[in-house]
Structure 1
Amino acid sequence: MKINIEGNKIEGIFHKRRNRFIAEVFIDDKLEIAHVANTGRMKELLTSGAKVILRKVNEAHRKTQYDLLMVHKDATLISIDSRLPNQLLQQAFMHKSIPYFKQYSDIRREVNFGKSKLDFYISDQKESVLVEAKCVTLVKENKLASFPDAPTDRGRKHILELIEGKKQGFRSAVFFIVQRDDADKFTPNKEMDEAFYEAALLGKKAGVEFYAYNCNVTTHSIALKEEIEVFFN
């Protein structure tokens, strides 16, 4: 199962990031601006001269004519669209392709819980589950994926909500979707955001479940590849 990446894809060369949502890229030696659908820093990926994949968008209301979809890092193609993990998980839940979550048939997106909006509420007749999905693009040495690549108070709050969900009788889970194929293990990024790491550690002790998957990425599609180990330093 895979998600097709639709549209007219073209190659470009990354120049710089103006802000969280706008990047400058060279397309056929002409400087253009592109939308970045990811608020992470991605400093190790979005470097001047990096080869990128963009989608041409012809919509009158858009400020940019391009979406920045992917970036090449050495021999690896990385998807940077942070909207895709939710789509991948929804597909996996619907097709019952994640072994630990096959029993749930009611799947709802973007549900309010506490003071947050969580990505999924899934359930069967016996049990209800709160699920958060996180987009991972950072892979360190030794094929180690890690999240976040920038401090995320929002991410910390989500885990605290999942801990509260456990207290209220829900099953709670976090999925880290590594949008590249070169990672074989995952850990929360303590060096980047110790508060997030400590919240994740509290969550683990409270019974929140943590899962990570890497992905097969091509210029035309993305798909979950395999589950990888999650550990805490």
Structure 2
Amino acid sequence: MSIKGDIQEAFFIKRLNRFVAKILVNNKIEFAHVPNTGRMKELLIKDRKVLVRKVEDKNRKTKYDLLMVFYKDTLVAIDSRLPNKILYKAFYNKQLPYFKDYVEVKKEINFGKSRFDIGLVNRKNIVLIEAKCVTLVENNIAKFPDAPTERGTKHIKEIIKASSEGFGTGIFFIIQRNDAKFFSPNWELDSKFSEALKEANDRGVLIKAITCNINKEKMSLNEEIPIILEQ
């Protein structure tokens, strides 16, 4: 998937709130939209080099989007909107070996009180897919979430319910970096989410974790990695 727009190098200064960061770009202090509500404390550190996209929109308060962070030798994409897009495209182009009998791919499917990112429609049923953005890697283990998420736990419980009612279901953790060897729910940070994910697996929900290859011009799915669900 192409990363379009005027991409520039900058330096991170400070996160002002969940959505706005102060940056130094072209030797000038500017403000950037942060398209991810996660904490990302290990990534967003003062003076760290980042990639931003300049946005020409007079109605916006920020002139840039903060897209990627250089972490040691790894480029990390932080935009939490990307997993939906890259997963939708992969299913649309029949590039993934899961749920092969679908005939249509839809965006944003409602079920119960939740909205799921992707729906795969076949002749008999519909498969509900939830995509999660993962940026945290510790000791080669990708972890989600990096902040407690009641909404994420709610979505998992809804997808368990959908599975029990006969829907196909899947949760895909898209790891927006290429240095992870395993994936695990973040038990220390959010035990409720982790328990719910383990239950989903036990109840037959397909759970996958896939790393990505990233450069300043594009992001692509790389490889599926093993999942460790036990605490």
Q: TM-score, normalised by structure 2?
A: 0.97
Map of 1:203 onto structure 2:
200
Q: TM-score, normalised by structure 1?
A: 0.96
The Cα of 1:27 is off from its aligned counterpart by 1.2
- Number of aligned residue pairs: 230
CA RMSD in angstroms, aligned pairs only: 0.9
- Between the aligned partners of 1:32 and 1:227, the Cα distance in structure 2 is 38
- Between the aligned partners of 1:84 and 1:101, the Cα distance in structure 2 is 21
Q: Which runs of 5 or more structure 2 residues have no equivalent in the other structure?
A: none
Q: Which runs of 5 or more structure 1 residues have no equivalent in the other structure?
A: none
- Between the aligned partners of 1:110 and 1:100, the Cα distance in structure 2 is 19
Cα distance per residue 1:126-149 (max 9 Å; x no partner) = 3321110000000111x1101000
Map of 1:157 onto structure 2:
154
Aligned 8 A contact 1:93 1:102 in 2: no
The one of 218, 221, 224 equivalent to 2:218 is 221
SS at 2:98 equivalent: helix
- Between the aligned partners of 1:199 and 1:160, the Cα distance in structure 2 is 7
The Cα of 1:104 is off from its aligned counterpart by 1.3
Amino acid at match of 2:154: K
1:65-214 matches, cutoff 5 A:
65-141=63-139, 143-214=140-211
- Between the aligned partners of 1:15 and 1:193, the Cα distance in structure 2 is 28
Aligned 8 A contact 1:137 1:178 in 2: yes
Amino acid at match of 1:113: F
Amino acid at match of 2:119: Y
Percent identity (aligned):
50
1:10-25 matches, cutoff 5 A:
10-25=8-23
SS at 1:230 equivalent: coil
Amino acid at match of 1:117: R
- Between the aligned partners of 2:198 and 2:183, the Cα distance in structure 1 is 14
* Runs ≥4 residues deviating over 4 A: none
